[in-house]
Structure 1
């Protein structure tokens, strides 16, 4: 059975989740070592920088998503952010990402957040179908990106 819960309750999965993110979004971590990112991500579960939900099944990690204070250094004026959305290829197509995203949005709303932001390289259509609006297109990490927001009120 699929279980969605806070990563801080299963910290034994933290380094694996951080490594998956590091490899999937390697262009974002070009100036940071894997071990430094794992340390930052682990601390972020408790200090609010990277509060993450994870999905597991039979004890196996399938993916996660985070509520991040800051996720785009060129836009320090915006936040908080939906970030670190990743589901293993074997588990895709089951609605897991959507459950994680909605869990983060619900938590953000419950804590008083009115607007949540995200940036994506290639999933803008996916997010648009789920209530996110494009704010702008921009280039970062030598890649075209989409800046999007979602009203949580």
Structure 2
């Protein structure tokens, strides 16, 4: 049975989240990358922002999403964000990404957040299916030629 919980409920899963972040974004979190997956996983185990949600199949982490204060530098004025959405390849095509987005929305609303943002170059259809609005498009220096959609949803 798959369930989605906040990492603060099972902080011992932080090493599994660290491994997932490295697997999902090896250029950022892997050797030579600028990110620190272990530090970020530990920080996301709290009850405030940042906060990670993890999808578990039994005790195996198969997906994650996080609520974070900021995301892409071109839109630093927008806060907060749903970021770090990832589903293990063998668990994809089962609707888990959408479940993680919806669980993130519910967690944000429970925290008193009234508007949530997200950025993606590859999951536009997922955000469209969940009634998010495309509010902008941008290109990031780290990803030349790739158009990033900036999405928002009101939670009130």
TM-score bin (small chain): 0.7 to 0.9
The DSSP-based 3-state class of the residue aligned with 1:46 is: coil
The DSSP-based 3-state class of the residue aligned with 1:104 is: helix
Deviation per CA, 1:70-101: give whole Å up to 9, x if none: 11223221011011111111111222222221
Q: How much does 1:148 deviate?
A: 0.7
Q: How much does 1:103 deviate?
A: 1.1
What's the counterpart of residue 110 of structure 2? Answer: 110
Q: CA contact under 8 A between 1:78 and 1:117: conserved in structure 2?
A: yes
- What is the count of residue pairs matched by the alignment? 151
Give me the whole-angstrom Cα distance separating, in 1, the residues matched to 2:117 and 2:27: 20
The answer to whether residue 150 in structure 2 is matched with residue 144 in structure 1 is no
* Unmatched 5+ stretches in structure 1: none
Give me the whole-angstrom Cα distance separating, in 1, the residues matched to 2:65 and 2:13: 13
What's the counterpart of residue 97 of structure 2? Answer: 97
TM-score, L = length of structure 1: 0.86
Q: CA contact under 8 A between 1:137 and 1:145: conserved in structure 2?
A: yes
Q: CA contact under 8 A between 2:44 and 2:66: conserved in structure 1?
A: no
Give me the whole-angstrom Cα distance separating, in 1, the residues matched to 2:25 and 2:132: 21
What's the counterpart of residue 32 of structure 1? Answer: 34
Q: Cα–Cα, structure 1 residues 42 and 58, in superposed 2: closer, same or farther, change >3 Å?
A: same
Q: CA contact under 8 A between 2:7 and 2:46: conserved in structure 1?
A: no
Q: How much does 1:15 deviate?
A: 2.7
Q: Cα–Cα, structure 1 residues 3 and 125, in superposed 2: closer, same or farther, change >3 Å?
A: closer
What's the counterpart of residue 59 of structure 1? Answer: 59
Give me the whole-angstrom Cα distance separating, in 2, the residues matched to 1:117 and 1:28: 21
Give me the whole-angstrom Cα distance separating, in 2, the residues matched to 1:135 and 1:18: 31
* Unmatched 5+ stretches in structure 2: none
Structure 1 consecutive aligned stretches of length 4 or more whose deviation exceeds 4 Å = 26-31
